[in-house]
Each structure stands twice: as structure tokens, then as C-alpha cells.
């Protein structure tokens, strides 16, 4: 255990730290949401990840994604792996440069306890959610994080006991470009949900009492 992890264990308690380190999290899409959610999760003590994306870092990504100027043209799986290890060198990463499709979605996330849906297109979001919901894995999705201002509208919406959506549910990236403030708020909320879910008794979680 390195010094970073020792300090986190002191802050979280030995019991909570042990819970966090056991969880494997799948990140579907490593753009603004996925890269920043992963960053927040690593800073919170999570250690075991499966990172999935097929894209490369572009200059247009730097306004909101957890990448740097010199990483442009790198595979996002490679660049994010480097950046997360700069926070915690002991993080365990399985980085897959592959497109999520009907034929592979269940297999890709079979060994994950929690899945972050951070995909760009509505069709891909629906495909992942529809296939993974029956598995009862916790799915943290997002909808409505575009534009500037109105960040207070980014809320947490529990739709099922294993499905939560973060966002304003209305702003569309096709009509209004996403920028760092709202994207990072949503990504941080996704990470915070996972943190609380992991260290809490989910059935007694006040967020879920209405379900």
C-alpha cells in the first residue's frame, strides 16, 4: 500500500477503504464524463477499472476531458491509463480499445460490479442500458449535460434500484456544445453516487427510499 492509499484509508476508515478496493468499475466511454468520473473515482480510492473506448484524443476534447495537450492523437485508453496512474501508481487498469456493440456488451462488462455509462450517442446509451439492466449491476448513466449555465439543473434521478441518471434530462449536445463546468459537475456526481453506494447499505440509502 502506497502513501496515497494509506492517507485515504485514514480518511475513509479501514472498513470503508476495504469495500472500495474490492469493487471493479467499468467505464463505457472515456470522453468528458468517463475520463473525469474515472479521475474522481481514483482520487476516492477505487482501484480496479475496465476502461473501454475506441477513439483518440483530439484538440477539441481538451476543453472538458481529462487529457493534456501532448496527448492529442493518443488512444484515449492509453492516455487515461497514464493520467490515472499519476494519481495512484497502484491502480489496476484493464484498458480495451474497442467499440461497444450488441455482440460484445454483456461479455465486456461481465466481471464489473458497477458500470458508468458515458457514451456519446443515444443509440449506444440505450444498447448498454437495455443489456445490462437485467444483470442487476448498478448503472450510472447521464443525460443532459450540454451548454453553459443552469448547472443547478444537473440532478440525480433514480429510475430503478440499479439505474440512476445524472443530468438535466433536456440539454442536447447536438444543439449546444458541452463545456467543462457542467460536464465535470455531472461526472463528479456520478463518482459520488458510486462512492456512497459502495460504502453504504444500499437498501437504507435515502436516495432510493421512493423506489
Structure confidence by residue, pLDDT tens digits, 4-23: 999 999 999 999 999 999 99
- pLDDT attached to residue 174: 65
> What's the CATH code of the domain at 43?
3.40.50.720
* Mean pLDDT, residues 105-125 taken together: 95
CA angle 55, 58, 62 (to 5 degrees): 120
8 assigned to some structural domain: yes
The whole-number pLDDT of residue 176 equals 78
Which residue bears the cell 442536447? 172
- The answer to whether position 7 is within a domain reads yes
Distance CA 11, CA 126 (A): 37
pLDDT tens column, 42-92: 999 999 999 999 999 999 999 999 999 999 999 999 999 999 999 999 999
Q: What are the φ/ψ torsions at residue 101 (nearest 5 degrees)?
A: -135, 170
pLDDT band at residue 30, thresholds of 50, 70 and 90?
Answer: very high
**Is there a domain that residue 131 lies in?**
yes
Residue 101 domain-assigned (yes or no): yes
- Whether 30 is covered by a domain: the verdict is yes
Query: Looking at residue 34, what is its pLDDT?
Result: 98
The average pLDDT across 84-105 equals 97
pLDDT digits (tens, 9 = 90+) for 137-180: 999 999 988 889 889 999 999 999 999 999 998 886 666 788 99
Burial category of 10 from C-beta neighbours within 10 Å (exposed 0-12, middle 13-18, buried 19 and up):
exposed
Give the per-residue pLDDT at 204. 43
Cell of 35: 475520463
How many domains does the chain contain in total?
1
Residue 206 belongs to some domain of the structure: no
* 102 part of a folded domain: yes
Residue 170's pLDDT is what? 86
Helix axes 3-12, 14-22, angle to 10 degrees: 120
What's the pLDDT at 39? 98
Residue 177 located in a structural domain: yes
Residue 210 has pLDDT above 80, yes or no: no
Separation CA 91–CA 66 (nearest Å): 17
Amino acid at each position: 500500500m502506497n502513501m496515497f492509499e494509506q492517507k485515504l484509508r485514514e480518511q475513509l476508515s479501514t472498513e470503508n477503504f476495504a469495500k472500495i478496493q474490492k469493487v471493479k468499475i467499468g467505464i463505457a466511454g472515456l470522453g468528458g464524463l468517463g475520463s473525469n468520473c474515472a479521475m474522481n473515482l481514483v482520487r476516492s480510492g477505487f482501484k480496479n477499472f475496465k476502461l473501454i473506448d475506441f477513439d483518440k484524443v483530439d484538440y477539441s476534447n481538451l476543453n472538458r476531458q481529462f487529457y493534456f495537450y501532448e496527448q492529442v492523437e493518443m488512444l484515449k485508453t492509453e492516455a487515461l491509463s497514464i493520467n490515472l496512474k499519476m494519481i495512484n501508481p497502484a491502480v489496476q487498469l484493464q484498458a480495451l480499445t474497442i467499440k461497444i456493440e450488441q455482440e460484445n456488451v454483456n461479455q465486456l462488462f461481465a466481471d464489473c460490479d458497477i458500470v458508468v455509462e458515458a457514451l456519446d450517442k443515444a443509440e449506444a446509451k440505450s444498447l448498454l442500458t437495455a443489456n445490462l439492466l437485467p444483470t442487476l449491476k448498478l448503472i450510472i448513466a447521464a443525460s443532459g449535460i450540454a451548454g453553459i449555465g443552469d448547472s443547478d439543473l444537473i440532478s440525480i434521478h433514480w429510475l430503478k434500484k440499479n439505474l440512476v441518471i445524472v443530468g438535466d434530462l433536456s440539454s442536447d449536445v447536438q444543439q449546444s456544445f458541452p463545456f467543462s463546468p457542467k460536464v465535470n459537475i455531472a461526472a463528479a456526481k456520478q463518482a459520488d453516487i458510486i462512492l456512497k453506494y459502495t460504502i453504504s447499505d444500499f437498501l437504507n440509502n435515502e436516495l432510493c427510499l421512493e423506489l
